[in-house]
Amino acid sequence: MSMPGKNSFSPPMLSFASLNAAPHEFYRELRPEFPFVQREDGAFLVLRANDVQALVSDPRTRQVETELARARGISGGPVMELISNSLLFSNGDTHRRRRQPLSRCFAFRMMDGLRPNVRSLAEELVTLKLCDGEMKLRDDYAAAIPAITIAGILGIPRCDVPLFTQLAYRVSKILTTSWTRDDLPDIEAAINELSSYISSIIDDRRKRPRPDFLSDYVANIDETAEMSALEAVMQIVSVVLGGTDTTRAAIVVMIGLLVDRQGSSWSSLRNQPQMVAAAVSESLRFEPSVASIPRLAIQDIHLDGYVIPRGSPVLLSTMSALRDPDVYVEPDNFNLMRPMGKWHPVFGGGEHRCLGEALARIEMEEALAALLNSRLDLDLGDQQLRVHGHAGIRQVDELLIRWR
């Protein structure tokens, strides 16, 4: 890698391809020298933990709205419709108006009530696979837990889960770094299909309310009349996007990392089940499933002698920050004893802090606990955990787990 000297006052400009090839290596090499690098689409990737933590809710930044999509040549159509109506890509009163009807349902206390259901689901999936002697970790287990749980919250019939989940994966590609213009027609078709599916279940709850989250949501938005019909649909689409791919990847990463370290981590967890929450936190730090948080610089931002100019899209690299040795001792070591504090940076900060944190943690904890409690010895053979992407939602390859 060729890097300009610090006196050039411009950080390196990097292509998507080079960043995606070996992101940890890039970040490790660049972070001591540069507080940020610039990507070929113009976005600035902020690399250091203290800067990432400060800028996530700094008044010199705001949430990106349509800027990143426009930078990649999108000016209309379903992608723009989703982005311009989602809580994730909005600010101020518009954001509060869109988030408020969802917040109560996803609060920690409410989510804890779902824990027994998530536990039974994880145990049922393990039992189902016991006779086979092996399991596709991603498709048979890690994908099913968040998909069936979100479908349950929304009251989606179990038979629709495969269709609805496939649509969610196709749409969430837009939040990864691996899509190209060739993927756009498929992403657009999936947004149209997913939003009309959600729209139909919203209409159904309006006509036939039940004691469930979606009926309460519809009643609340109808009563306050603060959201358009399209906005009401797009908040639920945003929850589906936030809640499927992210947690699927996080579960594969966590179990992949722990099984790979059988000798130490797996057996210590079996003997100390109270360490499950720590295993969740450390795996989210070591190999986060969401690698960056987007913002827009609304003023010039000076960092260590360099300037991010006003108006630039900024990606706060949680992936780099979570391996910053200035904050994490021996950051490239996976360490279950590492103190991570109450507010894990992987879920962001400020007004946009992840709405689904409580749910994600419950799903990850129960996914791990069900495998530990099965007392099975798991084996990955010579397969490697492969996680792709340097920003946004990351993707994982399938891992076939065998019981020994």
Which residues lie near ligand HEM (CB under 6 A)? 63, 87-88, 99, 106, 238-239, 242-243, 246-247, 250, 289-290, 293-294, 346-348, 352, 354-356, 359-360
Tell me whether residue 12 or residue 144 sits nearer to ligand HEM (CB atom).
144
- Minimal distance, residue 357 CB to ligand HEM, in Å: 7
Tell me whether residue 12 or residue 95 sits nearer to ligand HEM (CB atom).
95
- Minimal distance, residue 250 CB to ligand HEM, in Å: 4
Tell me whether residue 165 or residue 238 sits nearer to ligand HEM (CB atom).
238
- Minimal distance, residue 111 CB to ligand HEM, in Å: 9
Q: How far apart are CA 185 and CA 172, in angstroms?
A: 14
Tell me whether residue 121 or residue 359 sits nearer to ligand HEM (CB atom).
359
Tell me whether residue 115 or residue 402 sits nearer to ligand HEM (CB atom).
115
- Minimal distance, residue 87 CB to ligand HEM, in Å: 5
- Minimal distance, residue 1 CB to ligand HEM, in Å: 27
- Minimal distance, residue 238 CB to ligand HEM, in Å: 5
Q: Which of 251, 288, 239 is nearest to 118 (CA)?
A: 251
Residue count (the chain): 404
Burial tier of 284 (Cβ tally within 10 Å: 0-12, 13-18, 19+): buried
Q: How far apart are CA 57 and CA 322, in angstroms?
A: 17
- Minimal distance, residue 227 CB to ligand HEM, in Å: 14
Residue nearest to ligand HEM (CB): 356
- Minimal distance, residue 10 CB to ligand HEM, in Å: 26
Q: How far apart are CA 269 and CA 373, in angstroms?
A: 10
Tell me whether residue 12 or residue 292 sits nearer to ligand HEM (CB atom).
292
β-bridge partners, 402: 134, 379
The structure tokens listed for 166 are 């496939």
Helix, strand, or coil (residue 302): strand
Tell me whether residue 246 or residue 320 sits nearer to ligand HEM (CB atom).
246
Q: Which of 95, 100, 82, 97 is nearest to 195 (CA)?
A: 82
Helix, strand, or coil (residue 387): strand
DSSP string, 16-32: HHHHHHSHHHHHHHHTT
- 235 within 8 A of 198, measured Cβ to Cβ: no
Q: Count other C-beta atoms under 10 Å from residue 367's C-beta.
A: 29
Tell me whether residue 221 or residue 293 sits nearer to ligand HEM (CB atom).
293
In which residue are the tokens 């890698």 written? 1
Q: Count other C-beta atoms under 10 Å from residue 366's C-beta.
A: 24
